[in-house]
């Protein structure tokens, strides 16, 4: 058919760039529709391992490349990319827990994850029970006949408790309960979740995989095909597609993950040690320091530590002087999230923990890629707030 009108040629061009450019970078494939070969070939299914590219929603080559690389790094069978870490948490819950079900969640879990359980899952009559992150094999006593999921997060958010994952997953396996781990801190590499018995991991790729505070993405990785099939259906039904542009940035982030983590670990340990020497500090919660809860488990199970940690100020340090201290910091910026190249600081009015923790005396730091000496000088100068 001959096209005469330039309007049609805009949509069906004949001019094309030559093929054969072999970039080192994964191309960014944008697309909702992907063209099917024949009318006989029409089928609408999410499972890219059977027949990829039915619809952009189930994954473009860019998103599926990112998923494949995360699965490979974590040693899982398959991975799903989600619009953010919080979405990944929701995907795990909604894939494995039914109305009337019971889930066990560590008291130290990421705050919005707890909110999801208490404010949304409760509306579906799902009972979330919080447990002491140091519980270990004692989790057995909390398991009930209708327990469907044991959630873990190690280290815990803000208070940084390391969990005895092998002890917990042994109970989960015996009771045939799915175990899930928020593996964001370890970027999927500092802790090998699957070899320690975990069934499902999720990460906020927003943090170390993105690595530059310029995207929001999450991932859910599974041990085997059965778990893959259970999640895939829910991933599709919830509409959890991710932007190929963000995935492209995450693929770039992956290439420098090793050098960033190595440098961040060194700098963070040095800064944590500097802070632990200050008389105003009661405790430094950094898994590589013996003062931190679960330090021995960290030594046993982890390959390294990352850039986020917290300090507890002594009781005689006022809330006001802590606020003054934070406002005086120049290089540490005040903001949520972590894992990027910029040092950050955060304080809290309230943290849900049993027994309760004095939240206003806790300050969390995220160390970035600035020179360590400059960061320590920044802290030392803001320390005037206490003197
Ligand atoms: C940031 C974070 C999330 C959520 O990630 P978003 O991409 O911001 O939704 C989940 N878990 C942990 C431990 C986090 O720190």
Percent of all residues in the chain with a pLDDT value above 90, rounded to a whole number: 89
- Whether 204 is in the pocket of ligand 1, judged by its Cβ within 6 Å, is yes
Whether residue 252 is predicted with pLDDT greater than 90 in this model: the reply is yes
Q: Is residue 368 exposed (0-12), middle (13-18) or buried (19+ Cβ within 10 Å)? A: buried
- Whether 157 is in the pocket of ligand 1, judged by its Cβ within 6 Å, is yes
- Whether 344 is in the pocket of ligand 1, judged by its Cβ within 6 Å, is no
Percent of all residues in the chain with a pLDDT value above 70, rounded to a whole number: 100
Work out the mean pLDDT of the chain and round it to a whole number.
96
pLDDT attached to residue 300: 98
Ligand 1 atom 6: the closest Cα is on which residue?
85
Higher pLDDT, 334 or 48: 334
Whether residue 146 is predicted with pLDDT greater than 90 in this model: the reply is yes
Q: Please, where are the H alpha helices in 135-288?
A: 165-174, 225-237, 244-255, 257-276
Domains along the sequence of the chain with CATH: 55-255 (3.40.640.10), 257-386 (3.90.1150.10)
pLDDT attached to residue 101: 98
Closest CA to 271 of 296, 323, 306: 306
Ligand 1 atom 8: the closest Cα is on which residue?
85
Average pLDDT for 211-236: 97
- Whether 182 is in the pocket of ligand 1, judged by its Cβ within 6 Å, is yes
Element (H, E) at 178: strand 178-182
Whether residue 129 is predicted with pLDDT greater than 90 in this model: the reply is yes
Structure tokens at 49: 């391992």
pLDDT attached to residue 57: 87
């Amino acid at each position: 058919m001959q096209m005469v009108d330039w309007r049609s040629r805009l949509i069906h061009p004949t001019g094309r760039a030559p093929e054969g450019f072999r970039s080192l970078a994964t191309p960014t494939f944008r697309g909702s529709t992907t063209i099917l070969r024949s009318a006989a070939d029409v089928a609408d299914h999410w499972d890219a391992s059977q027949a990829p590219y039915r619809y952009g929603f189930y994954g473009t080559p860019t998103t599926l490349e990112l998923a494949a690389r995360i699965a490979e790094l974590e040693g899982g069978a398959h991975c799903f990319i989600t619009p953010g870490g919080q979405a990944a948490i929701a995907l795990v819950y909604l894939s494995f827990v039914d109305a009337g079900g019971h889930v066990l969640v560590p008291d130290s879990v990421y705050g919005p994850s707890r909110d999801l359980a208490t404010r949304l899952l409760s509306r579906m009559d799902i009972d979330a029970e919080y447990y002491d992150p140091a519980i270990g094999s004692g989790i057995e006593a909390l398991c009930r006949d209708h327990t469907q999921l044991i959630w873990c997060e190690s280290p815990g958010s803000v208070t940084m408790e390391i969990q005895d994952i092998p002890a917990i997953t042994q109970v989960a396996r015996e009771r045939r309960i799915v175990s899930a781990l928020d593996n964001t801190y370890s970027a999927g590499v500092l802790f090998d979740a699957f070899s320690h018995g975990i069934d499902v991991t999720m990460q906020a790729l927003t943090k170390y995989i993105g690595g530059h505070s310029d995207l929001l993405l999450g991932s859910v990785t599974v041990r085997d095909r059965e778990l893959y099939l259970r999640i895939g259906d829910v991933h599709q039904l919830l509409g959890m597609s991710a932007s190929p542009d963000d995935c492209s940035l995450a693929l770039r982030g992956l290439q420098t993950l090793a050098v960033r983590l190595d440098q961040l670990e060194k700098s963070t340990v040095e800064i944590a040690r500097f802070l632990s020497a200050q008389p105003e500090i009661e405790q430094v919660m950094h898994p590589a320091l013996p003062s931190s809860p679960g330090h021995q488990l960290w030594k046993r199970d982890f390959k390294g530590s990352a850039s986020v940690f917290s300090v507890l100020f002594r009781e005689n340090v006022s809330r006001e002087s802590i606020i003054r201290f934070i406002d005086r910091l120049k290089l540490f910026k005040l903001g949520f999230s972590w894992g990027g190249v910029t040092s950050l600081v955060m304080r809290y009015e309230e943290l849900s923990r049993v027994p309760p923790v004095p939240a206003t005396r806790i300050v969390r730091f995220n160390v970035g890629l600035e020179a360590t000496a400059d960061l320590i000088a920044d802290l030392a100068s803001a320390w005037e707030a206490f003197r």
